[in-house]
A = this chain, B = another copy of it.
Amino acid sequence: MNDRSAQRLAMLQEALTSGGTLHVRDAAELCGVSEMTIRRDVTTQPSAISLLGGRLVMANYPGVTPVYDLTEQQASHYQIKHRLCQRVVSFIEEGDTLFIDCGSTLIPLLSQLSHFRELTVVTYALNVANAVATLSNVRLVLLGGLFYASSQSFGSDGMRAAIERLGINKALISAAGVDCERGVSCFHFHEVAPKQAAIATAMQRLLIVDASKFGLVRPAYFAALSDFDIVVTDDEHAPELLDCLPKASLSVTVA
């Protein structure tokens, strides 16, 4: 609420921009005030910095740990997505060029890619790129464009063409809705072009969806279920649900 307080916060924020933590003790010295003042600065007004065990850390800073606790529900969600991704890993082979879709479903996959010797990942999602950027064994190709915050991904005119020019091996696609008759859909229209392009060029197409997505139809339709070679899901009833499919070659894997 104070002018100087705001200034200090800005200063600390910048000190923390590139990650790392700062002890309140050091922050106090840096700003030339007492620890208590630093605490108050950070506590009494909403800011990007939070206090964790005596250290300042960026709360919501780009690509930095948001400091909030996991709810039990969230933790269980991770469990599901993790299991799905474990299954997906088994389809990946050394040297593959993977297209990885946006969303949260495939995030747990990325830490598991470090076990390979050499891979290439193509994506149009910022969070995927961030995760892959830390892996020294994975070549990262990010398809840029205008950023859409809602899906943490990029979109551009040339994306379809850019994807089709790449030698993508396997397309790992996620979705917000899967319906036997109405096909596979997502929320955002700018995701349609990259998803379709990846499906068109990839040699193998995997759809990864957790059970909650079945029977749902979302605004942006992008593929038929028969466009996929493999469906990875945690739904025990998925095989029956997908029975409606004519294409016999579709393989369903329940994680």
Interface set of A (CB-CB < 8 Å, partner B): 10-11, 13-23, 26, 30, 48, 52-55, 57-58, 60-70, 72, 74-75, 78-79, 81-82, 104, 107-108, 110-112, 124, 126-127, 129-136, 139-147, 149, 152, 154, 158
Could you tell me if B141 and A143 are in contact, using CB atoms closer than 8 angstroms? no
Enumerate chain B residues within 8 angstroms of A21, measured Cβ to Cβ: 52, 65, 67-70
B144–A133 CB distance below 8 A: no
Q: Across the interface, do B134 and A60 meet the contact criterion of CB distance under 8 Å?
A: yes
8 chain-A/chain-B pairs, Cβ below 8 angstroms: A18-B107, A22-B69, A63-B133, A126-B130, A126-B142, A132-B147, A141-B147, A144-B144
- Known A-B contacts A140-B146, A144-B142; the reply to A68 vs B20 at CB < 8 A is yes
Query: What's the Cα separation between A58 and B141 when bound, in Å?
Result: 24
Given contacts A52-B53, A141-B147, could you give 9 more A-B pairs where the C-beta distance is less than 8 Å? A14-B79, A18-B78, A18-B107, A18-B127, A19-B66, A22-B70, A62-B129, A133-B149, A133-B152
With contact pairs A14-B78, A18-B127 given, residues A64 and B62 touching in the complex (Cβ less than 8 Å): no
